[in-house]
Structure 1
Amino acid sequence: VSFDYNKSEEWYKGSLSFKRDGKPIPVTCVKVDGVDGIDAASRAELIFHRTCEVGADVVLRPHKDLFIKQKYFPKLPDHIEIRKGVSCVCYDRSEPLKDWANKVQSKEIVPYMMISLNYLSGLLMTVFKTFGAHPLGNLDLIRGVRSIQAKGFFHGGLHKQSSFVFFHDKLKVINVEGSLADLSLSEQDEKKKKDLMQLRMMLDVVFKKILGSKYSWKECSSFLKFFDNAECLDYPEFVEKLISHPLLLSSEERMGMFARYHRKWEIVGKHKAVEKALRSSDFDHFKSWNRTPVLSNMNKFMKGVYYHNSGNYSGEVTELLRYLRNLYNHYYQLKALTVNIVDVDSGVQRLFPGFLELLYTHLEKL
């Protein structure tokens, strides 16, 4: 193993060769400390084997656990730990999430997500749903955590930015450590749920860091709040509701929800309950939704569907639901315009941010 000059005491960049004349592999070696009576070397070995066993797409497989000691940096202070020797787990060369967030915060880099947040508000949902590629794939992360648990493990440190790295522009989990094997079923569910709640904490911290503590992103805030509200549920129901949240669905699935909720409104036994929910103060922002400034900001395909019905919509929230149902059902009939479902979803989120999330909160349980 050889190392680049690096004063970080959390990770070290270097090269790893398995043969004396073998081709060096660029690596990032993540330092492991001893904890709870387990020495650092034993813990590094445990993390290496358990992380290898998971094999999930969202988990970055390590190459080796090592004890490393560097003597060849004459300018390196004597107290730097790598002179004394540290235990670590070596992964393919990657960038720690914490470093990436610091670069974004200092404007050293402006990732695709930030450009969208600042200038293309209608694409927020598209960006967040591709969070694996640009750059934080939320649903991929949740599925990845579940795949870790399906192998009989839990992570236990997903609230820490040090548990995540960027590898080929995708966010990956590292350092899987906990085992579910010797726990009761209730204890297993508790550990599993805690993993997901810790993931929620990490997301909130990262967004506050790169967007500011008072960032305004209604869809994301609704999703994080949903985490908190669903925490009281049993683990299977908690996960089911979490992965079906609108923020994590495709554009086709999201727009289809408007049609589904409108059908629910049409059911005789549920009609009054739906209307009562839509009259609640939570929907005040969407009352008088079709005032002139909103209509003037509609895309052509949205106006085409709106005026196809001679603009015969009142300002009631139920009418907004009907309009969005019609938009989903008929946008493709506007043959003069080249538009796809992602354009439709982005247009709806631009004009009516947070509406679908409110519908989900109030109507999904009816």
Structure 2
Amino acid sequence: MDDQEEVFNFAKDEYERNESHDKVIGPMVCCYSLSFDSNISEESYKGFLYFKRNGKPIPVTFVKVDGVDGKDAASRAELIFHTTYGVSDDVVLRPRRHLFIKQKHFAKIPDDIEMRKGVWCVCYDRFEPLDKVKLPIRTPDDRPEDFWRISIRNLIHGVRNIHAEGLYHGGLNELSNFVFVDEMLKIINIERSLADLSTTREQNERKKKDIIDLRTMLDSWFKKILGSNYLWEECNSFLKFFDHAEHLNYHNFVEKLASHPFLLSSEERMGMFASYYRKCYQVNTRQDVEDAFESSDFDKFKSWNRIEVLGSMDKFMKEVYDNHYGTYSGNVVDLLSYLRNLYSHYHQSNALAVNIVDVDRGVQKLFAGFLELLHQHLCIDP
């Protein structure tokens, strides 16, 4: 309690020294409680805050802070508290306070255990560590569940916003820096400033590394949850796209990563075909499209309208194809044209009562990987 007693004394002194008629100074005191296991070294502790006797307890989690790289635990806890608290983004869990926690003497508890020596913690609203979350990740048709699709996009944009405030994390490859609270995935424990780096180049490298660290974390997390079922082509395509960081400037990399097909809804995915088709006829992007389609990556989509492919189309897809029969050759541009028409007919023909998810699923079944290739080849800086 020595550390807290100093806070009490500080508040008392400030209150008594206040001579200003328009300034209010007073103490804010709370009681905390938590449970710990004296047999293990824990990374966090579930507990409560109390602001009055017999008051309603507020559930919180105390995250232990250790000293690293010559910086003591007390300094780190204070830095993490102030830095993380100052970030105004929904993807960041803002802490309540930092404090020193120490168990009082009990004859049955050895004095040399961690909690008897005391630990520095940062206190957050109660959360579940990411490795305790058991929400399903993958749909039966190999798409990410909506929660993860939206959460990953939010994380990418959230990290960008952390950087915009002059900060970087430096530990986003570790699962312990991600938590689940209020049905959202959030980041904790920010403590580094871009201003501490000497050059703009170093700052950009650090920002990119934060984004790439997200890939490392997601890869580790998916492997842990899916195990032997981790052979997931769409997910692998998304994770491999991180490798294009070295070819893109930071801004474009973040935006293109967040718009990767893996993270889009069925409506958004189908709409991308229309967007890419427009590029075929825009003066400033036409050559980019032509150059992309010359890549051998698209070879498997040449002769896309073979008899066996047409025979595998569902009723809606075949009707759209037949509406334009004779105008489609087997080249890649015509495949893009067909998929654009498919999207347009979906919105124009309400009488068909076709679900956009089913349309997207049919496209993925017959032309798997085509949208991802478009995104990859048309998103790399020239």
The 1:273–1:185 alpha-carbon spacing in structure 2 relative to 1, beyond 3 Å, is: closer
For 1:259, the equivalent position in structure 2 comes to: 274
What are the superposed Cα offsets for residues 140-182 of structure 1, whole Å, 9 maximum, x if unpaired? 0011111111222111110110100111222100001101234
Distance in 2 between residues matched to 1:328 and 1:341, nearest whole Å: 9
Higher relative contact order (CA 8 A, sep 6+): 1
> Counterpart of 2:28?
none
What's the counterpart of residue 113 of structure 1?
137
Distance 1:226 1:84, change over 3 A: same
Closer, same or farther: CA 82–333 of 1 in aligned 2, 3 Å:
same
Name the counterpart of 2:245.
Answer: 230
Counterpart residue identity of residue 143, structure 1 = H
Shift of the alpha carbon at 1:293?
Answer: 5.9
Structure 1 equivalent of residue 374 of structure 2: 359
Q: Is the 8 A contact 1:251 1:341 kept in 2?
A: yes
Answer with 148-157 or 13-22: which moved more: 13-22
Q: Deviations over 1:122-146 (max 9, x none)?
A: xx15x2xx4xx34761110011111
2:183 aligns with 169
Partner of 1:286: 301
2 CA distance for matches of 1:142 and 1:283?
Answer: 29
**Counterparts of 2:283 and 2:200 in 1: how far apart (Å)?**
41
Gaps of 5+ in 2: 1-31
Residue of structure 2 equivalent to 1:242 = 257
Q: Distance in 2 between matches of 1:302 and 1:163?
A: 45
Max Rg structure? 2
Q: Distance in 2 between matches of 1:51 and 1:271?
A: 45
Structure 1 residues 144 and 352: CA distance shift in structure 2, 3 A: same
Q: Which position in structure 1 is the counterpart of 2:115?
A: 82
Change (3 A) 1:73 1:28: farther
Deviations 1:262-315 (A, max 9, x none): 233356897677456435432344344445665555444333323333586454
CA distance in 1: counterparts of 2:268 and 2:312, whole angstroms: 24
Give yes or no for the alignment of 1:331 onto 2:346. Answer: yes
> Please, which of 137, 141, 153 is the counterpart of residue 139 of structure 1?
153
**TM norm structure 1:** 0.82
- TM (normalized to structure 2)? 0.79
Q: Does 1:192 align with 2:212?
A: no
Q: Percent identity?
A: 62
User: 1:39–1:335: structure 2 CA closer, same or farther, 3 Å change rule?
Assistant: same
Which residue matches 1:105?
Answer: none
Q: What runs of 5+ residues in structure 1 fail to find an aligned partner?
A: 101-108
Distance 1:90 1:22 in 2: 19
Distance 1:86 1:364, change over 3 A: closer
In 1: Cα distance, 2:203 partner to 2:284 partner: 39
Please give the alpha-carbon distance, in whole angstroms, between the structure 2 residues aligned to 1:323 and 1:202.
38
Contact 2:149-2:263 at 8 Å conserved across structures: no
2:146 is aligned with 1:149: no
* 1:15 alignment partner, one of 43, 48, 51: 48
Look up the equivalent residue of 2:34 and give its one-letter code: F
Q: Aligned-pair distance for 1:323? A: 1.3
Are 1:43 and 2:76 an aligned pair?
A: yes
Corresponding residue SS for 1:29? strand
Contact 1:159/1:199, CA 8 A, preserved across alignment:
yes
Q: Which residue in 2 is equivalent to 1:106?
A: none
Aligned equivalents of 1:221, 1:213: Cα separation in 2: 14
SS of residue in 1 equivalent to 2:172: coil
